[in-house]
Structure formats: C-alpha cells, structure tokens
C-alpha cells in the first residue's frame, strides 16, 4: 500500500469517527462505532472505484490494516468496548489525539 493510499484510508476513517463523535455529542448515547460498521462506511466512500468482488475484499483488507496501524502505531484510535469478534469491538478517536483534518 502506498503512502497516498494509506493517507486516503486514514482520512476516510477519521471522518467516519468524527461523524460518530458529533452524533454522540448531540445527545445520542454511543461508546464508539463497531469496527465492521466503520469498515463498511469507509468502503462505501470508495464504492465507485470497486469493479469486482476481489476489489471489494481488497479494500476491506486494506481498511482493516489501516485501522490496526492507526491503533497500534499512530495511536489515533482506541478500542472503547472490546468483543470476542474484531468486527464487533467498538472504536473511538483517542481522547488525546490532535486532529489534522
């Protein structure tokens, strides 16, 4: 994955998480967004680029990889509610993260 592609996925993930934060701030109870839902929303942003099932699964794989890096290396996100299934755990922007968008 190129740096540009990583940035593109990272920005899409950040935008989805920020939208979830705004929804939460408006009084809707939330502890974050399910990782599976986050991946689906990111892929939806790039749907016009998907021409085959293989491309869809490749985008899903890349989104998962970027999410893991954003949590472990960049420390932009945290798991707010863990689960046995990775897709079911809830994610949030780290409270100490300085937003760049």
- Go through the domains of the chain in sequence order and give each one's CATH number: 3-93 (1.20.58.870)
The pLDDT tens digits for 33-86 are 889 999 999 999 888 888 899 999 999 999 999 999 998 998 888 898 898 988
Bridge partner residues of 90 (DSSP): 34, 81
Bridge partner residues of 79 (DSSP): 91
**Is 90 a residue whose pLDDT tops 70?**
yes
**Residue 33 has what pLDDT?**
86
At residue 34, what are phi and psi to the nearest 5 degrees? Answer: -60, 140
Residue whose pair of structure tokens reads 């701030």 in the numeric block: 25
**Residue 20 has what pLDDT?**
82
Contact 34, 89 (CB under 8 A): yes
The pLDDT tens digits for 2-36 are 989 999 999 999 888 888 887 776 666 667 888 99
**Residue 42 has what pLDDT?**
92
Q: What's the CA gap between 91 and 32, in Å, rounded?
A: 5
Contact 62, 45 (CB under 8 A): no
Distance of CA 79 to the CA centre of its chain: 11
């Amino acid at each position: 994955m190129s740096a540009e592609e990583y940035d593109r996925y990272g920005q899409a993930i950040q935008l989805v998480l920020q939208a979830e934060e705004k929804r939460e701030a408006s009084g809707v109870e939330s502890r974050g967004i399910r990782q599976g839902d986050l991946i689906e929303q990111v892929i939806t942003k790039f749907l016009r680029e998907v021409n085959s099932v293989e491309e869809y699964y490749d985008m899903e794989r890349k989104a998962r990889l970027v999410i893991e890096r954003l949590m472990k290396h960049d420390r932009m996100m945290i798991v707010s509610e863990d689960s046995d299934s990775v897709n079911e755990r809830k994610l949030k922007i780290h409270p100490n993260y300085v937003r760049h968008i």
